[in-house]
Each structure stands twice: as C-alpha cells, then as structure tokens.
A and B are shown apart, each in its own frame.
Chain A
Amino acid sequence: MSSNTSSGGQGGPPPAVDKTIIITRFDPDQDEAPRKQEYTVPCEDNWKVLDAVNFIKDEIDPTVSHRWSCRMAVCGSCGMMVNGEPKLTCKTSLKEYGDRVDIEPLANFPVVRDLVVELDGFMHKFESVKPWIKRAKEKAEDKAALHETKLTYTQSAEELADFKQFSMCINCMLCYAACPVVANEPEFLGPAAIALGHRYNLDTRDEGTEERLEIFRGEGTVFSCSYANECSEVCPKNVDPAAAVNQAKFGAVIDWAKGLVLPRAPHAAD
C-alpha cells in the first residue's frame, strides 16, 4: 500500500495516523447482502472522512464505489453514515473519530453498490411537491406587479427572509437517513421534499399553495411527522426541515378549515 504520509518535522504538519476504516461493501452481482471490509489508512491531520474514502479508492481498492463531487458541501453527493450518523463526508473531519471509523451507505435507502444508494424514490418525492413557482394564467393585471424594466416579479427582503432558509437545501438526503418516520414508513414524503414544497408555499410569487397543501393533507405527508427533529439535527446547511414540516402542518390545517367555509380556487397551471 502506498501512502502520502507526511514527515511531521518540527513546525510541519502532524504525522499521519493509521486508522481502520470499515466500509460497507455490496456487489449486486456477487453479494447476497452487504458486508464489511476493513482498510488501514494513513490519515493526515486535516483530512475529512471523504479524503479517507478517496484514498482507499485511489490507493488501496479501486473497486470501492461512492459518490462525491464538489468537496465543499455544496453538491450534496457525499452523504454517508459515519459511525452510525448521517454526515456529509466532505465536511466531516476525521479527527472527530477514534481509531476505527465505520462508513456505511445512507440509512433508509436501497443500496445500489457499496456506498451508493438508490435515488429514484427520493427524486420522485421531490417532484411530487411541485417545487417550482406556479402561476395562474398570465393576467393583464399581473403586469402591474412586474418590475418595469426587468419584467420579473418583485419581492421584498422581508418576504425573501420568510423562506430563504428552506431554499438552502442541497438534496444531500441526510435528513431522510436520520428520520425515524422514514425508517418505519418508507412511503413518507420526508423532510427535504416537504421543506421544499413549503419553501414555495411561502414564496410571494407563487400561486400553487392550495395545490401543495392538498398534497400535504394526504396520507404519509406532514401529519406522519412525529417531530423527532432528527432531520434538523443532521442537516449540514441548517435548513431546519423539521421547522418547515411543522409549519406546513399549521398551513394545511388552516387551509382545511378555510375550505370548509370558502370555495376553493382552481389550481394554477403547471
């Protein structure tokens, strides 16, 4: 095994420390079920968990499969379970852990191979909350709301502040891996999708709120959430999906009550 161990001389970086990295392996063509494989890795002091997995892939075992891209907590690709907790591995320092670090695929997702999980169900849930600005057919009076030169709908900083936090999601899926409701009810719409739908419901430019609230009133959505708050605890971008889900509960109840006394408007076009 080759290594890029530092010398660790006086004033230089600390010497590399050997750690045992335990990776969950699964080859759909050969393995009946996922299994564990241990690797000894000389870890630099400033390494993130992703650096250790990349080292294994590059220097020890090229068959290890994992997802990663930006290395700066923006793309949301490198989510994995690290010692049992969902982590964005490019943001998680190896120094936080002891000599043995257990790296597994994200919990609550089917495993395609090694540390790579199946995304189809997640993407389907995302799409189902219609995460885009929905407008009713353009009306003449709408033009009055348009910015004179930019021809865009204006929004105050205060209005933006109402939902900006919920728009910072990077779709890393850590919240789904942490959620005890997803673990028990895989069909649960889940924290990130509900937070995204709620983000558009709070957007003053959007007219699709009633349609999304109809989705939120359905089974397996906001009222399945038991407010464990785990999604917010593990979120690497401080989106606080638990707040969004529970605000959406409030919105769904108010909308349901309004629907008892007021006729519902037709849905905005997709």
Chain B
Amino acid sequence: MAGPAHPEAMAPPTPGRTRTAPPQMPSTWWSAPRIRTYLLFDATGVIYFLVGFLAIKIVGQLADGPIAWQAQMKALENPLYIAFHVLALASVIFVAVRFFRLFPKAQPPSIGPAKPPPGPVIHAGLYVVWLGLTALISLALAGVIL
C-alpha cells in the first residue's frame, strides 16, 4: 500500500493557543500483567526468527552432503539445542492459544446470507483442527502413514 487513502485522517492535532506537554506514558506501563503477556507474545517473534534461521542452516548442511548433514544432526542433540526447541514449542503453543481465543470475535457477523457459527464452536473447531494436524504429522514422521 503506497500511503494513506485519506492523508487528512492522519493530520496531527491543530496547534492550540497554549503549548501542550507531549503524551505521557505511565512510568510503570510494563508492569501490568496484560501488557507483560502482550510483550511476551511479541517477543516470541525473536524465537521464530531463530527457528527460521536454523532451518535455513540445516537445509544448507543438507546441500553440503551426508557428512555435513550427520554433523548437524549430531549437533542438534546438544542440550542447548534441545532447550531451544522446547522453548520454541512453548512459544508456538502460547501464540496458538492466544490466537484461538481472539479469532472467533474477529469473524464478520455475516458473509452474505451466511452467519458464522457461534464463537465457542469456532474456538473448539480450531483446537480440533490443531490436534488433528499434529496427530497426522506425528504419524507421518513416525512412518505409520505415508
């Protein structure tokens, strides 16, 4: 998107006759539990960046041949790598649970004549799909299917 569709909507406040103090933030803004949860949610972006970086590195090792691949697999057994992946899994679960909680109310009240299902149904459906996909992928990785 090139820019605001209506730039006047973003115009700064008209200067008044008296000067104003700049917007104030409470000195303890970070201490509210909800804000801490949100900051934690935002911070998970760093974990996903690192996971992506690691995935690219592993693909690179694969391209470098079997010896490089085996060395990379051995390196992944390091407790630090395992701890990192546990942290990544916890981040994914945290973000997914938050997303599932907020997703139902973001649905439009209607799409044409169709009404979306009630919020709790959508909420439960997301968990069913999540668990189903996890089971499928687990079975595929274990060689039970595919």
Does chain B have a CB within 8 A of A229? yes
Given A84-B32, A118-B16, A229-B102, A215 and B6 touching (CB < 8 A)? yes
Q: A108-B23, A250-B106 are in contact. Are A128 and B6 (CB under 8 A)?
A: yes
Task: Determine if B26 is an interface residue (Cβ-Cβ < 8 Å).
Answer: yes
**Closest chain B residue to A187, Cβ basis:** B10
CA distance A133 to B12 in the complex (A): 26
- Pick from A112, A129, A189, A251: contact of B16, CB below 8 A: A112
- Inter-subunit contact A219/B4 (CB<8 Å): yes
Query: In chain B, what residue has the closest Cβ to A216?
Result: B5
For the complex, count residues of B whose C-beta is within 8 A of A.
39
The residue from B25, B34, B42 contacting A233, defined by CB atoms under 8 A apart: B34
- Please indicate which of the listed interface residues B3, B19, B21, B110 has the most CB atoms of chain A within 10 Å of its own CB: B21
Ordered by A's residue number, 29 sampled pairs between the chains whose C-beta atoms are within 8 Å are A33-B21, A84-B27, A85-B32, A107-B23, A107-B24, A107-B25, A109-B23, A110-B13, A110-B21, A110-B22, A110-B23, A111-B22, A121-B11, A124-B9, A124-B13, A162-B109, A180-B35, A183-B23, A189-B9, A218-B5, A219-B1, A219-B4, A220-B4, A223-B1, A227-B106, A230-B35, A233-B34, A243-B105, A250-B108
Report B's interface with A, CB cutoff 8 A: 1-6, 8-14, 16, 18-29, 31-32, 34-35, 38, 42, 102, 105-110
